[in-house]
Amino acid sequence: MALLLIDPDYDLLLDLGAPAGVLESLHEQWLRLAHDPEREEFAARVAARLLPVLSDSLDWDLKPPTSAQISYAVSIARKLNLEIPAKVLQRRSDMGMFLDENADLILGTKRTRRGLRSSKRA
């Protein structure tokens, strides 16, 4: 027996290769909840544990940005009065490009301000 993760929209089919004992227990759990509103709660519990593992299995550039990257991006966006594009919040590679492009603007602004201050003093 196979435990499959399927998304037909993306033509995704992963066989999770679960051992028979786990599949049998999962099947029994699912049957217990057949006519119970707790079935949705069970599915939500499974998703809450499975989704982080799936995300962690991706290549580094496809993973979501780290909390430090997001904090830095928010700080930059506030200083530059920018909106952070949605795709930047989805992938580390896009976040990295956003940070590289916009951190230079802040550093350039700081350099300009320092240059102005020093020229006023001279």
Q: Is the pLDDT of residue 13 over 70?
A: yes
Q: What is the pLDDT of residues 16-62, one digit of tens each?
A: 999 999 999 999 999 999 888 899 999 999 999 999 999 999 999 99
Where exactly are the structural domains of the chain? Answer: 4-57, 67-121
Question: How high is the pLDDT of residue 54?
Answer: 93
| Type of residue found at 24 | E
Residue 73, CB half-sphere, CA atoms under 13 Å: how many? 24
C-alpha angle with apex 64: 14 to 99, nearest 5 degrees?
150
Which secondary structure element, helix H or strand E, spans residue 16, and what is its range?
none
Question: How high is the pLDDT of residue 35?
Answer: 82
C-alpha angle with apex 49: 45 to 53, nearest 5 degrees?
160
Burial class (CB in 10 A: 0-12, 13-18, 19+), 71: exposed
Say which residue the tokens 């119970």 belong to: 36
